[in-house]
Amino acid sequence: EVQMVESGGVVVQPGGSLRLSCVASGFSFKDYAMNWVRQIPGKGLEWVSLISWDGGSTRYGDSVKGRFTISRNNSANSLYLELKSLTAEDGALYYCVKDIGGGFSGNSYGFDKWGQGTLVTVSS
């Protein structure tokens, strides 16, 4: 069974930083692109970032570009998201999401499996 388990969500002060992690299982992690998607509870979905199967290509949403960094460790079946310069608008449930494709040239083919998310709250 494909599974993604996110962790790292905490309450952080504005301007602060944190790192989210996601451990994947049940599929060949090294062959697929991965994404982060966030959702303010009760609101819509916002794509945050994509990383290709080998980490060679990354893409970011406009609202996080320059502040967030996506990375992966294929040996550990793990995906990460480094968040910096956080504002209240970054507070959300962050989902780790498997792509249908390998993410060659940073392209997505859709998102076929989602984790349950980890909650980030930005508050003083």
Partner 1 sequence: EIVLTQSPGTLSLSPGERATLSCRASQTIISDYLAWYQQKPGQAPRLVMFGASNRASGISDRFSGSGSGTDFTLTISRLEPADFAVYYCQQYGTSPITFGPGTKVDIK
| Chain contacts with partner 1 (rule: CB under 8 A) | 35, 44-47, 50, 59-62, 95, 100, 106-117
Q: Give, in order, the Cα–Cα distances in Å from 41 to each of 2, 79, 92, 117.
A: 24, 23, 7, 11
Q: Give 48 or 83: the residue with its C-beta nearer to partner 1.
A: 48
Smallest distance from partner 1 to CB 103, Å: 11
Alpha-carbon distance 92 to 47, whole Å?
A: 12
Smallest distance from partner 1 to CB 74, Å: 22
Q: Give 41 or 124: the residue with its C-beta nearer to partner 1.
A: 41
Q: Give 74 or 108: the residue with its C-beta nearer to partner 1.
A: 108
Alpha-carbon distance 81 to 72, whole Å?
A: 9
Q: Are 36 and 108 in contact (CB under 8 A)?
A: no
